[in-house]
Amino acid sequence: MFMAGSDTTPTAFEWAMAELIKNPNIMKRAQEEVRGAVGNKSKIDVHDINRMDYLKCIINETLRLHPPLPLLLPRKTSASVRFGGYDISEKDSRLKENYLMAIQKDPAIWEKPEEFLPERFKDNPVDFRGQYYEFLTFGGGRRGCPGITFSVASVEYVIANLLCWFDWGMPSAGVQGQDLDMSEGNGLTVPMKIPLHLLPTLHAP
């Protein structure tokens, strides 16, 4: 569980912060919520996180738009089969399908699927815990990720701290967040092609 999370969880951090810096109105709203929940305390606890509904929407939308592990786990055929126009002629063939990205960006399921819209998860029962086939970032059923609770808690806590104590900007003068290159890299996990570099400024209440 810890080995799997060592790559996928930081990938989720990076995509979340990239989307926030690219969408300053969303960043501002998230920071206002986080700072309002924390108040004058010196650290964030689990009770504060539970009050951050918009932050949870942001994380949901990040995982929908940028699933860190879109191929999930490979499958094995139990018999020869023709599927989607392809002949898989041998039993016990190992299959890796990029169905997760296709489903979570399907315009027949999601309105404006290529846009980062955390509000789509407000009062929406659909979540990533394997009960909804349109949102399977962590897989589902017996093949679901056993580290889902640990991973989501880590992402929530880190992003909440980054938003609470710092203001964020681009490191180069004259470059705006809207100019950020959101190209995807290659690999089992899908990080940003160009690693994200941001400039933190300590937040003064």
How far is 13 from 79, CA to CA, in rounded Å? 40
Tell me if 145 is assigned to a ligand binding site.
Answer: yes
Asked whether the beta carbons of 82 and 102 are under 8 A apart, the reply is no
Q: Which residues pair with 201 in a beta bridge?
A: 167
Max CA separation in the chain (angstroms): 64
Closest CA to 105 of 23, 4, 5, 190: 190
The radius of gyration of the chain's CA atoms, rounded to the nearest angstrom, is: 19
Asked whether the beta carbons of 30 and 62 are under 8 A apart, the reply is no
At residue 135, what are phi and psi to the nearest 5 degrees?
A: -150, 90
Helical H runs in the chain?
A: 2-22, 24-38, 46-49, 53-65, 99-104, 148-165
Please state the residue numbers annotated as binding site: 145
Please state the residue numbers annotated as binding site for heme: 145
